[in-house]
Structure 1
Amino acid sequence: MTRAEPADGVKLTDGQRLDWLRLIRSENVGPRTFRVLVNRYGGARAALEALPGLARRGGAQAPGRIYSVEEAEREIETAKRQHAVFLALGEPGYPARLRMIDDAPPLIAARGDIDALKMPIVGIVGSRNASAAGAKFAAQIARELGREGFVISSGLARGIDAAAHRATIESGTVAVLAGGQDRIYPPEHKELLDQILEKGAAISEMPFGWEPRARDFPRRNRLISGLSLGVLVVEAARRSGSLITARMALEQGREVFAVPGSPLDPRCEGTNGLLKQGAALVTEANDIIGVISPILGRTIELPMEEPEHELGDTGDAAPDERRRIISLLGPTPVDIDDLIRLSGARPAVVRTVLLELEIAGKLEWQAGGRVALL
């Protein structure tokens, strides 16, 4: 039986950290796939060696690009120059609550006071085009939570995010970045980030030099909620990205809070909708503290790693099994349990075929742990 390296509370060696960085930066390898690969092959180096064969069996015409040793070494050197460290999943400094989510990043680049990541964290998000009242209220709540010993996480965006960060520079705040640590968005918040780093931290799962794109912001949002005991939404329109954060918080088992607003203000349409759906109503910090205080007394139960295969089961698929499993897939997301039941194949075989398809760039994971063909 193999398991991911490192064991709980054990730091990676320099060589392992290099291999982890190469694997997670390689084409078609996301956080879920990374964990499957490392558990299956017993380490990142062996997984890197297996990638071309997996891509070929998945139907790729050419193997996906593998991040080179030289590229990984350059990124590690860049991190050192930026006073950043790479924290690996399972290491002592990695945020415990973030580790609990299904798609926790294997490595995060962190700067600033890393101890802020060990504190109880509450996420605050909301409209970029915030009203003066909304920004003032977000700052007030953030400041009160800071006085009670909570660190605030947010996305360094304009509006509500910036107000929450500025209010907690002294007590501690965590900026979760959509781009690399050296590509701050929006650019005018670089000075704000410098202030945050004095007593707080900034984290990113993206490579150094990575300019954030539209699809990177939902990825960032899952980290804001993943770090946190709960997420407060202050002003959000019907199609706001803050509602994505709230949905992800629910999927991760986090508390969701919302501030009521005028039904005449479109910036409050999303938050009022969250309240209708059962989010906890917030008009003062105690509304949040009363809900999450009991959670602080509980031991954090980290997910157990399971072997990818049963003992002695290679998971290799016969040609007819592979065809049968692939025939059940399409653009509509499907649960893996349904694939196992309908295909009649062993779970290890189904997971192996899905892994091959993903490495070949033909499969993607969607909400709720479902899969779909691209």
Structure 2
Amino acid sequence: MNNRKYWLGLIKLHNLGPKLIKNLLEYFGDAKDIWMASQQKLCQVPLIGKKRSQQIIKDRESIDLNFEVQRLKNHQINYLTLNDEEYPYLLKNIHDPPPVLFYKGDIKLEDIISLSIVGSRKCTNYGQKIAKRLAKVLAKRGFTIVSGLARGIDTVSHQGALEAGRTMAVLGSGLDVIYPPENEELMSNITQQGAVISSFPLATPPHGGNFPKRNRIISGLTLGTIVVEATKKSGSLITANYALNQGREVFAIPGDITKKQSFGTNNLIQKGAKLIQEIDDIISELPLEDWLELIGVEDSLKKKEVDIELSDLESKVYNKISSTSQEFNEILKMIDISAGQLNSTLLKLEVKGLITQLAGNRFVLND
């Protein structure tokens, strides 16, 4: 447990991004060993060299690891490292994922069933309405909605998700620096029904250069990214590009061609992004089975732990499903819950490897 604190030191070393930290970890094998290494040893790591190794030695002397740990405790902030099993599966599988994730709230295995919704800060009333409605409906269907807590589309996406389920916000600052400041209450609400996340150490201000890094995490956490509105140079287009490079789906809401907020989304559609007219346009394109199968191979131990930790509602639904396929409405008639609750619960049971969804919205127990 004590070795985890060395990760906090690594991300505070000057001019060491995820790629160089990855090189160090591959060479030394452990964050503590990096922290204790001599300059001679550090020089042997690819792309580190004499100058960087000298800087690492100098920086180490000025970083109090126990102080960093205590400061996080004082702010009630948790953190995950790449070595932790709880580190988000989808994010861990992008190129050079962030070595440390700071968070408030809780991060769950079921958050793999997730979509990001992003868009313009200066959005139209139409964009706000669509984003909020979309987030609410998807959250009701069991998706965790991920966005960036920014003004405009991000804000209403979080608000819509909170009305029906879980949401996660990724910041471009330290978790103790609330930006924009008017979203302080929203941030607090999100920690109750999801998590607020950052890859940046405490006290990091929201500099412009931080937001592309934040956008990379937003897309990396999710199965796909939905762009609601975007101007020609919108940061949302950066998020969409990251999603494509990460092998994730990209969706776009078509917009009024006379509005500048529609240029980015309409252009994405021209280039091959999936056009959204209804929720099924999203669901049908997501490779849920492929991801679940992959997790079943590489994350089987974690899944076994989750299998025996069903909520009361999950147990109730699970006990109504048989080895003979059943249609959604057939299951719904047997249980006194809403269609939204059943949708969400069925998705969670599928994530945990207990059931499989078949064609025609039918479900069956796994062997």
Same fold (TM over 0.5): yes
Distance 1:226 1:61 in 2: 30
Q: Map residues 331-350 of structure 1 onto 2, 5 A cutoff.
A: none
- Checking the alignment, whether the CA contact within 8 Å between 2:224 and 2:251 is kept in structure 1 is yes
Equivalent residue pairs, number? 290
User: Which residue matches 1:32?
Assistant: 19
Q: Does 1:45 pair with 2:38?
A: no
Q: Map residues 187-336 of structure 1 onto 2, 5 A cutoff.
A: 187-292=181-286, 293-300=288-295
Identity %: 40
Distance 2:62 2:173 in 1: 22
User: Which residue matches 1:355?
Assistant: none
- Checking the alignment, whether the CA contact within 8 Å between 1:18 and 1:69 is kept in structure 2 is no
Q: Does 1:102 pair with 2:102?
A: no
Q: Does 1:177 pair with 2:171?
A: yes
The structure 1 residue matched to 2:82, chosen from 59, 83, 89, is: 89
Q: How far did 1:70 drift?
A: 5.0
Q: How far did 1:92 drift?
A: 2.1
User: Which residue matches 2:142?
Assistant: 149
Q: Does 1:161 pair with 2:164?
A: no
Q: Partner of 2:175: helix, strand, or coil?
A: coil
Q: Does 1:129 pair with 2:116?
A: no
1:204-241 deviation line (CA, Å, top 9, x unaligned): 11011111100000000000000000000010001000
Q: How far did 1:115 drift?
A: 2.3
Distance 1:237 1:149 in 2: 30
- Checking the alignment, whether the CA contact within 8 Å between 1:96 and 1:302 is kept in structure 2 is no
User: Which residue matches 2:72?
Assistant: 79
1:37-74 deviation line (CA, Å, top 9, x unaligned): 01101222332344744468445695344245853322
Q: How far did 1:35 drift?
A: 1.6
How much is the aligned-residue C-alpha RMSD, in angstroms? 2.2
Q: How far did 1:29 drift?
A: 1.5
Distance 1:290 1:60 in 2: 48
Distance 1:117 1:75 in 2: 30
- Checking the alignment, whether the CA contact within 8 Å between 1:275 and 1:281 is kept in structure 2 is yes
Residue 219 of structure 1 aligns to which amino acid in structure 2?
Answer: K
Q: Partner of 2:285: helix, strand, or coil?
A: helix
Residue 122 of structure 2 aligns to which amino acid in structure 1?
Answer: N
User: Which residue matches 1:63?
Assistant: 55
